[in-house]
Amino acid sequence: MTATDTAPTATDTRFRADHLALLESHAIFVLREVASESERPVLLFSGGKDSAVLLHLAVKAFRPGRFPFPVLHIDTGHNFPEVLAFRDARVAELGEELLVARVQDSIDRGRVADPGPGRSRNRLQAVTLLDAITEHRFDAAIGGARRDEDKARAKERVLSFRDTFGQWDPKRQRPELWRLYQGRVLPGEHVRAFPLSDWTELDVWRYIEREGIELPSIYFSHRRPVLERDGMLLAVSEWVQPSPAETVEVASVRFRTVGDATCTGAVRSEARTVEAVIAEIAASRTSERGATRADDRFSESAMEDRKREGYF
Amino acid sequence: MAPLATPGASSPSETTSADLLRFAAIGSVDDGKSTLIGRLLLDTRQLFDDQLEAVAAASRRRGGPALDLSFVTDGLRAEREQGITIDVAYRYAATMTRKFIIADCPGHVQYTANMATGASTADLALVVVDVTTGLREQARRHACIAALLGVDQMVVAANKMDLVAWRAGPYERVRAEMETLARRLGIGACTVVPVSALHGDNVVVPSSAAADYYDGPTVLEALESARAGSWSAAQGAHAGTAARLPVQWVLRTGTGRAYAGIVDGGPLRVGDPVVVLPAGLATTVTAVRTYDGPIAEAPVGISVSVELADDLDVGRGDMIAAEQDPPQVTGDLEATVCWFGATPLCSGDRFRVKHTTRVGPARVVEVRSRLDVHDLSLAPASELADNEIGVIRLATGTRLAVDPYRANRVTGSLVLIDEATHATVGACMVGPPSIGPLGLAG
């Protein structure tokens, strides 16, 4: 029964208010509200599919004008080269301003401890992000998080308040009625804005298909050396090297999410097109984060704890 | 106030989507709401193996049944520890015919603001009632708040039928109770389904256990056939409004300016005569566009930009409305308020208000009455405490283009913002409480 509604085609649905059109319109609405009501908004861009969709929606919301905010990448230093290439090409093509805040700089300045070579820097990103927000005095950070990703995210508002420490307090969220999004904050506070809140993984892929949105090549099946660790398939890289007990194989894989390369798992796949990926996801029995994020696999509160600390 | 029934106002139902239903799941603590949502997600195969494994692991740790479906929806640490729901959790499901956005709402009175958050955009309320206890206080209160917020369809899961051996009596008692409540609340469509969320009977999979006295739909079938896309439209039998476009953003095009926002009330077409409010300037729509190109008509709920025949001063916070049926422009409102502030709401209190895309100062001229959600009566009052609902008169420092809430949820709603903290402390609906077939007198 899952997700088999009739696939819309580009021509007959644009003016039919089907569910993708409504999700798109709502996301554009949120982007325009945040851009209007916040003094210094910023759009967070990871190079992943959700942020590629966000950029596409920003184009629809603000062209022929320029974006009313810069684009910020929190760089863990553990990147897939394909994703960095995609980031730079996409931002250059749009002619928008790109800011990069590096976790390595936070480590060098002693803000966070280096977890060591090959260890995930995922959690450290929160500090780098909050420092960038403070430095640039951003009062709104727009991100591509979705409520279907995790049970803590499922509880979060579209505009989610952060105190002067960057903390999310799930027991004290602002009421958020109708479409009256309210992002006013005091100096030092900010909101996170999530225009894709009500989108599911499948909605994102259907939208990518409908709109012809370009993605980093690692989202599609390719052959690369991988090793299995903690039940996940990790790409062999500068930061992920086999221990004596681990064996490297060359496999056909794709990624369902893009994050710190040390904790982002691949899935075995032959899907080389968006259409093939959608077919695989519709039949998948594993959630997006369960399949591919080592950091969420150990505790039922992992995401809630990271969010309290200021994570995306 | 503008008249409630406006001749000639177009119905948005032809242009809103039928394949997206937003509903709020409500009910008293322990009636099995979380289990019902878990069951709905499980049996429509929305849950992935790793999520099921996490639920099974949580069930084992707490020594309950092998697969306690209530753990599917309770997300926060405090919620799991206390076994309650504190805030709305949003869930998603899709079937062959529809996508569902489920706002799983908390039950306790102190979390009314969160419940209202979930219900404010709902097309329908899914109410879970334990047949062994019947309708209880919390669920009654929630159904009342949902109705007040404009929800005019209800599907009731008469739950735990397995505990009463599927006898007709307990089901009929709940059905009678809920149909009476629906009538009093002015909820036109009310379907009461006998279910066992624990065993999955009549939620997604039909059950023959109640065949002797029930031949209606399963919960899922009722949700699939409900009217969708109505949240921003008029309530029930009330007439809606014609097109309204609150201006969000001004796009500078090569040839001039285009005014961007979401159209509500009714579709906006090229050639339509319109007025720009609050100024009251008359003009005509010369173009309607999305980013992808020009269209002849902007459907309800869709982000568009429009161009106007005359070069007028139009900016964010202004409203472009159909000339035939414009909203009322006023700085003096009667409104029903749900108050969420830590200290009581009193006359003289000052706020910032946000109405559509316009933000400005406002003052409470008078607190008039308090709504008793038990008997739906209004009693004179001079202040409202946290989580209370009442009627106030509000003076706004900027004139607003408003419709009665029951005619248009978008142009009839505003929020009160604390001037010191910027927190959202109240939710206002223009007009007296719109509960019951005719509403209550203010």
- Give yes or no for residue B212 having a pLDDT over 90: yes
Q: Residue B132 and residue B35: Cα distance in Å, rounded?
A: 16
Q: How much is the pLDDT for A18?
A: 82
Could you give the ipTM of this predicted complex? 0.89
A17 vs B229: CB contact, 8 Å cut-off?
yes
How far B217 CA sits from the closest chain A CA (Å)? 18
Residue ranges, chain A, pLDDT below 50:
1-14, 298
B76 vs A35: CB contact, 8 Å cut-off?
no
Q: How much is the pLDDT for A222?
A: 93
pLDDT band for position B234 (50/70/90)?
Answer: low
Q: How much is the pLDDT for A105?
A: 81
Domain positions in chain B: 17-225, 244-322, 328-430
Answer whether A147 touches B (CB < 8 Å). Answer: yes
| Between residues A119 and B325, the one the model is more confident about | B325
Answer whether B101 touches A (CB < 8 Å). Answer: yes
- Give yes or no for residue B440 having a pLDDT over 70: no
CATH architecture of B328-430: Beta Barrel (2.40)
Answer whether A241 touches B (CB < 8 Å). Answer: no
pLDDT band for position B232 (50/70/90)?
Answer: low
Task: Give me the CATH code for the B244-322 domain, please.
Answer: 2.40.30.10
Q: Residue B92: its chain A contacts at CB < 8 A?
A: 147-148, 198, 200
Average pLDDT, chain B: 87
A–B interface: beta-carbon pairs under 8 A = 198
B77 vs A301: CB contact, 8 Å cut-off?
yes
* pLDDT per residue as tens digits for the range B368-422: 999 988 778 899 999 999 989 999 999 999 999 999 998 899 999 999 999 999 9
Answer whether A290 touches B (CB < 8 Å). Answer: yes
- Give yes or no for residue B177 having a pLDDT over 90: yes
- Give yes or no for residue B41 having a pLDDT over 50: yes
Tell me which residue in A21, A154, A304 faces B91 most closely, judged by beta carbons.
A154
Chain B residues 221-260 within an 8 A CB cutoff of chain A = 229, 248-249, 251-254, 260
- The reply to whether B328-430 shares the fold of B17-225 is no
- Give yes or no for residue B34 having a pLDDT over 80: yes
Q: Residue B114: its chain A contacts at CB < 8 A?
A: 173, 175
Domains in chain A: ranges and CATH: 19-204+301-308 (3.40.50.620), 213-296 (no CATH)
How far B241 CA sits from the closest chain A CA (Å)? 17
A290 vs B48: CB contact, 8 Å cut-off?
yes
Q: How much is the pLDDT for B14?
A: 31
Q: Residue B101: its chain A contacts at CB < 8 A?
A: 198
Q: Under CATH, domain B17-225 is a member of which superfamily?
A: P-loop containing nucleotide triphosphate hydrolases (3.40.50.300)
